[in-house]
Every structure is written in C-alpha cells, then in structure tokens.
Structure 1
Amino acid sequence: MLPEQAGHDVPAEPRPDGAFPPPDDPTAAAAPADSAIARLYGEPLTRMPNDLYIPPDALEVFLDAFEGPLDLLLYLIRKQNFNILDIPMAQVTLQYLKYVEQIRQRNLELAAEYLLMAAMLIEIKSRMLLPKRHDDLVEDVGDPRAELVRRLLEYEQIKVAAAGIGALPQEGRDFVRPQLFVEQGLAPALPDVDPWDLQRAWLDVIRRAKLTQHHRIGRQELSVREHMTAILRTLQSQRFIEFSELFAGQHTVPIVVVHFVAMLELAKETLIEITQAEPFAPIYVRLAYSPA
C-alpha cells in the first residue's frame, strides 16, 4: 500500500545543501512517528527548526570534578606522580593557574576560593626563589612548602576515609530493608514464662529487698567492774591461764570488748601479770605476785 493510500504524507526530502525545506514549503509534511528525531510536548519532531538557538553554555562536560582548591592541587600532584614532600612549585603553579583562569571566566564567585590558593602558591614559589640568609639574628623558617604539604596530607587522609565510608552499604541506596505486613489477631499473645524466668525475677526481688534493710542498734549496759571481779575469781582457782581461755563463754562482740578492757584495767592496777616466755609464744595471764 502506498503512503498516499494509507492517509499519510510522504516525508520531505532534504535539499542538496543538507537543509530541510522551510515550514511553509508544501513539500515538508509530517512523517511517521517511528522516524521522528525527537518529541516536543509528546508530538514527534521530524526535522530541526530553522530558528533553533542553542546557547554556548547550554551543555558543559566536566571530566574531573573538584571539591575545592586542595582537591585540585592534590589531583595535579598525584596525576603526574610528583613527590608530595618535594613539590615542583613552578610546574604545579602554572597548571593550577590555567585551571583557575578557566573557572574564573565562567564563575567568579567559585573562582574566589581557588584564587586564594593560587596566591598562596605564588607566595611559596617566590619565597623559594629568594636566597637563603645566613644570619644568626634571623631564625630559619625552614621549607616554605611544609605547611602546604601538611594540609595536603591531612586532606588526603580525610578524603580516603570519606571514600571508605561512602563505599559502605547504605540503606536506600545499595539495599532496601524488607518490610512484611503481618495481620495481628484480636486475641493477645501471652509470652511463655518458664521456671528459670520466675527464679531470676525472685532473685531480683531478694536483691532489691537487701538494699532496703534497716539496721537496729540496741543498748546493752555492761559493767567493767563486774568483769574485773570475774577475771580475778577465775585466776584464783588456777595458777596460769592462757590469754584466749579468758574469753571462753563470751559470745557477743560487746561482751568480749568489755572483758578485754577489764583485763587491761587489772593489769594497770598491777593485780594481774601478762607474761610471754619468748616471741610468738602463747600469752599467759596470772595473778600478780605478792610477798607473804
């Protein structure tokens, strides 16, 4: 079937100079949608408009994107395998200025930060060209590139660390957390409690109960004189008695303390003697010797 019979017009043929006829040219007709070079608002476009204007800056291709002056400077050094501890300032400065000149012509606000680094590079280059002064009164400041090298090394470490963090899997970018809808019933699901859970709960209650215990202090009246009399009565029936045997039958700490104080009072009044045959030997208590 011919195009005329199908209800379609024959597409216009280009002229010998390669241009399409103008829109009012009767030879320019609509072509099938499958031969359109583009679509404008959903309609197929079969030829380029004669009044189409494309601005020079409409399409820009950036082969290398830099996040700042240090990033550009580090790129120039690493690309040419320069030693970062011995930077050839002349070559690096010239290459840096060429790039800054390109971005200055397009975006002056973006170039301001790069121009500051360019001034720093020129200053370092100028200081390296100056002859060194051998004067004891003037302190040697060292290599002018030292501060720049320090900043470059720190920036490179941060950049490598950021790249490592960026390479980690990220939710929403590298993987999606699965979600599953579970229809819950009306009957509440009670948890399973085993004897071990009950035992742990009971031990926790006991532990908290011990923290709230109250200590009651009672008052007990004890007489030192009575204990002194008891010690003398015990020594009258025995010639010697070991120190620890004096405290036999004393069951509480307060009574033991009062009994010991009573023994010291008797020794102070020279009514008893506390003897020991040799170091670390048993200690004996006896009545004081009194001549007849």
Structure 2
Amino acid sequence: MTPEQWAVDAPSAADTTPATVDGLAVARLYGQPLFQLPQDLYIPPDALEVFLEAFEGPLDLLLYLIRRQHFNILDIPMAQVTRQYLQYVEQIRQHNLELAAEYLLMAAMLIEIKSRMLLPRPPAAEGQEAEDPRAELVRRLLEYERMKLAAQDIEALPQAGRDFWRVQVVVEKSARLLLPEVSVEELRAAWADVLQRARLNAHHTITREQISVREVMSQVLRRLQDRRFAEFQDLFEPARGTGYAVVTFIALLELAREGLIQITQAEAYAPLYVRLSYTPS
C-alpha cells in the first residue's frame, strides 16, 4: 500500500480508534492522532528525529504527559504515566541511543516510585502522615514548570537586536576651548560685591568731588597698558568712596561698549578679568 492510498483509507480506520488511548501519539493524520506507524509508510529518519527531540529533557516530557491528560500533578497516576513514558523512551532508544540515555534515569525513577507505591507503606509517627513516594518527583516537576514559565515570560520581553535596535548618534567633539560668556547677571553680582566693599570703607563726611568719566576711562587704559590683564575688582579704589566706584564702573562699561577693553572669565563663576582689546606695539 502506498502512502497516498493509506492516507485515503485513514478516515475508515479512524472509526476503530478508541476515544481515549493511553499511548503517546507519534503524529497526526488529517487531525486524528496516530498511535502506531503503518508498516508500509516510509518516514525519513531526519523527520522522526525532529519529532523525538521536541522535548527539552525528561522532566519536560513527563510534564507534557501529565498536563496533556489533565492529571492532578499532586496525585499522579504512576502506572499510566510510567507506561506512556516508557513507550516514548523506547521510540527514542530505537533511533538515538545518546538522546535516550538521559531519559533512562527518569524511567528508572518512575519504575521505583511505582514499585514503592505497590508495597505496604511503613507506619508513620503519631500525628504525621505517611511519606508519599511521589513527593520528590512532584517537587521537581513543580519547580521545573515554574522555571519554564519564567523563561517563557523573559523570552516574550522585547530584546535589543531581535525586536528593536538602539539609535546611535555620532557627535564630533571639538578640541577648541570655548570660554563661557559673561552674563549680565554675573556682571551685576561682581558690581554688587565691589559696591559692598566700598560702603565698608566709606567715611562719614560729606564732600563734593568732581569726577570725570572720560578721565577715569583714560586712567583704566593707562593701568592696562603694560599688563596682559587685570582682575575686575583691582580696577576700583574702595578707599575713594562709593562715588568714585560708580564712575569707575561706568567707565568700564563705556570702554567695553566702544570695544577698547574685553571682560572675560575662564569658567562659570570664576573671577572676572579685564584686558585691552588690542596688542600694544
């Protein structure tokens, strides 16, 4: 019988399949479970190997058998589960001995638990329940299931390189030193400091002094003539009173407006410095 003829006759053969079968289905044909491979149906060995390696290990297979048939994991029917598990291991052993080796240890454990359940249990101490031979297996299955579900939750999270890509922006950095500009607020704070010191040195006398802004401007230029720079506060003479400090401040502003001097600052909140805008010959 060819594979095509067998597939056509499958619906009639499906009528003889019992509603509940303890064996593990090896495949599905037209939606119906296939529990035995037809003798004249050729299946490539590679295809069968893919089916046998669908589980990640003995615990994964055992958990599949229990959950697929809706068994209570706290009350596992050991005879039925052990029979199905051994059928699966037998299929593996016929095609892949290396893969079957790790399943044989679990098979031995299931047979041992089944045998212990058939023997009379030793009497338990008063007030305690007799130890269930399945307790250790149930603990391992529940722990494995929790880890498997946690791994699935982690796998569902977005991953860089798989679900999204990080945006990268290349920024070219210049090696040129950029000095911060002097703001009006910083200039006002420096002037307030000078004015405060001028008040501390003021005399309690009333005098009238004629002070020329142009004359003070010339004095500032002469003081800066032979110097690379001068500190802003050093250009004032607090001993001469508030009036002279005001005129000096106006003179500095006028010189800066005309471009004859520059007021600079090395970094934010650093002292202010005054220098000539041109290089003396």
One fold, TM greater than 0.5?
Answer: no
Q: More helix per residue: 1 or 2?
A: 2
TM-score (norm 1): 0.42
